Amino acid sequence: MNPILQVENLKKVYSDGTVALNNINFEVHPGEFIVVIGPSGAGKSTLLRCINRLVEPTSGDVVFKGKKINKIGARQVKQVRREIGMVFQNFNLIDRLSVVNNVLHGRLGYTGTIKGALGLFSKKDIAEAEEILERVGLSKQKYKRADELSGGQMQRVGISRALAQRPRLILADEPIASLDPASSKIIMDHIFTICKEDKITAIVNLHQVDVAMKYATRIIGIKSGEVIFDGQPSHLTKNIIDEIYSNAKQPLVNAQ
């Protein structure tokens, strides 16, 4: 099976000289549920953001479904992003909008922003958004304002918005970092089950190694912008975990 995503010699140096990613290489196959672990500042967020070009890589390639997405123009980026759903740590909802309208924002890549701003979504889109909300157990909350929800409920809206894009790949950046343990379990269960049922590939950044071990089909360990483990959870030994998290040195800074 062809990889859905290839990350090749990826490097990101921020304008202040911080080397956030250095020579990252891996392939992702359809159906994988990859968890990226690593200490704070390791480069996990930068990696996800380079994949969907929220951050421009300094060098190297990101190949999604055979297309180098770091070499395409803005219009094509928009098209590629439709197929890549993003779930954020702080949910990124629009507080004053209803739950269902937040979910419908996942359709903007298809309807266009002006129609979306006017709330001109098709009946089909609305029915689909409602179906997704039912799946994540939020039917009763669909007309509530987003800011009236609990954190766990907000994240379920975040997941629903990503699903409304009908993505082939979901990138989740610390989706449970702001949640209590009970809500965290609900969120991870939803992401895992939905990806499995809908055959969506996932890359999830997590701080918690135990949670990574529970859900991942593959774990990538990053430290100081470099991959130092890439394999099955059963191969992630205590020594390797210690190596990833111990002496988390400051990221390299380019000598200017």
Determine if 20 is a binding residue for ligand ATP (CB under 6 A): yes
Beta bridge partners of 226: 223
In terms of CB distance, is 18 or 208 closer to ligand ATP? 18
* Cβ pair 152, 187 in contact under 8 A: yes
Q: How many of the chain's residues bind ligand ATP (CB under 6 A)?
A: 13
Q: Is the dihedral of CA 201, 37, 132, 51 positive or negative?
A: negative
Read off the DSSP letter of residue 248. Answer: -
Give yes or no for residue 57 binding ligand ATP (CB under 6 A): no
Residue 192 interacts with ligand ATP (CB under 6 A): yes or no: no
Q: Does the protein bind ligand ATP through residue 45 (CB under 6 A)?
A: yes
42 binds ligand ATP (CB under 6 A): yes
Q: Which two tokens stand for residue 225?
A: 């912008």
Stretch that binds ligand ATP, among 16-24, 57-65, 191-199, 233-241 (CB under 6 A): 16-24
Nearest approach in angstroms of CB 191 to ligand ATP is 18
- Tell me which DSSP letter residue 252 carries: P
Stretch that binds ligand ATP, among 23-31, 36-44, 153-161, 182-190 (CB under 6 A): 36-44
Among the residue ranges 37-45, 59-67, 106-114, 238-246, the one whose residues contact ligand ATP (CB under 6 A):
37-45
- Among 43, 158, 175, 221, the residue binding ligand ATP under the rule CB under 6 A is 43
Rounded Cα distance, 135 and 131, in Å: 6
Query: Does position 221 bind ligand ATP by CB under 6 A?
Result: no
Choice between 106 and 251, CB closer to ligand ATP:
251
User: Helix crossing, 181-198 with 151-164: angle to 10°?
Assistant: 20
> For residues 68 and 60, what is the distance between their CA atoms, to the nearest angstrom?
10
For ligand ATP, give the closer residue by CB, 24 or 154.
Answer: 24
Q: Smaller CB distance to ligand ATP: residue 97 or 248?
A: 248
Nearest to 90 by CA among 184, 173, 208, 206: 173
* Binding status of residue 92 toward ligand ATP by CB under 6 A: no
State the minimum distance, in angstroms, from the CB of residue 46 to ligand ATP: 3
Write the DSSP string, 81-128. HHTEEEE-TT----TTSBHHHHHHGGGHHHH-HHHHHTT---HHHHHH
- CB of residue 187 to ligand ATP, shortest distance in Å: 17
**Would you say 58 or 98 has its CB closer to ligand ATP?**
58
Structure tokens at 182: 């009970």
Pairing of strands 218-223, 33-37: parallel
d(CA 210, CA 98): 35
14 binds ligand ATP (CB under 6 A): yes
Point out which residues bind ligand ATP (CB under 6 A). 14, 16, 18, 20, 38, 40-46, 251
